[in-house]
Amino acid sequence: SCPAGFQCKGGDHTKQACPGGTHAELEGSVSCDVCSPGKFSVDDAVSGIQLCTGCPPGEYQDASNSTSCHTVISGYEVNSGRTDQIPCPAGFYGEGGSNVCTICDVDAFSNASALAGCSACPNGWSTKNRQGHVSCPLRLWNLPAGQSLHPACPGAGWIVPSIHPSHGDPRF
């Protein structure tokens, strides 16, 4: 019988190793199966046979019959099947070779998809202790030392302008 990891073709059933990008997991295989997208073949160090294995974290493979995977580029993450890279949404960023996108920290933002990092809020603007913002919508009050806020002001030292700081705010 033909051992796992080999194909046995023809009348004499001479065993042949499966080529890169393929595998034969079962005994008695007459042909090798192609590794599917999201996987690649490697030589097993002990047996010397080809095995299909999933791409490692931070890598993907979009084609069949592969012997390696691609590293995810900055601004992207790997999809669940490791068959493609997808852009990080606004409010998140992706480091090259990362498996998942990372949410922007407090007082930082990313206003587009597929960014490799987040930008710090401009001086005097904030995300009010929230992560994952696409802008810095809140402006801090600049009060002289010892002065307190009027109780009617919303949210202890914060006001909520209706526009992004880069466009200016006519109330200030």
Looking at residue 140, its pLDDT comes to 65
Amino acid at 119: S
Looking at residue 113, its pLDDT comes to 95
Beta strands in the chain, from DSSP E residues, in sequence order = 6-9, 14-17, 22-23, 33-34, 39-43, 50-54, 59-60, 70-71, 76-78, 85-87, 92-93, 102-103, 108-109, 119-120, 125-126, 138-140, 158-159
Looking at residue 139, its pLDDT comes to 72
Q: Give per-residue pLDDT as tens, 38-69.
A: 999 887 666 667 788 999 999 999 999 999 99
Looking at residue 11, its pLDDT comes to 64
CA-to-CA distance for 3 and 48, rounded, in angstroms?
A: 12
The whole-model pTM stands at 0.72
The ranges of the chain with pLDDT < 50 are: 143-144, 147-172
